[in-house]
Amino acid sequence: MVITSISRIEVAVDDMVYIFDTPQEADAFMGCLIDGDLVQCKVDHPPLDIRPAS
């Protein structure tokens, strides 16, 4: 799994971009992904929107 911070509120995971309301929520999601599962991190830190990275 490739995790990239695109902006303060956007996090790319592989070919999808997860958009959050605040930088703190985006940071918490990224922190969760370090040790956690993507599905569980989406439940624990729900994004406002998800879009394809392309």
Query: What is the per-residue pLDDT across 1-38, written as a single tens digit (0 to 9) for each?
Result: 999 999 999 999 999 999 999 999 999 999 999 998 99
Instruction: Give the global pTM.
Output: 0.93
Could you tell me whether strands 10-13 and 3-5 are parallel, antiparallel, or unpaired per DSSP bridges?
Answer: antiparallel
When divided into structural domains, the chain yields a total of 1
- Going by C-alpha positions, the residue among 24, 23, 10 that lies closest to residue 52 is 10
Q: How far apart are CA 51 and CA 47, in angstroms?
A: 11
pLDDT of residue 54: 81
Q: Are 4 and 11 in contact (CB under 8 A)?
A: yes
Give the domain range for residue 34.
3-52
**Alpha-carbon Rg for the chain in angstroms:** 10
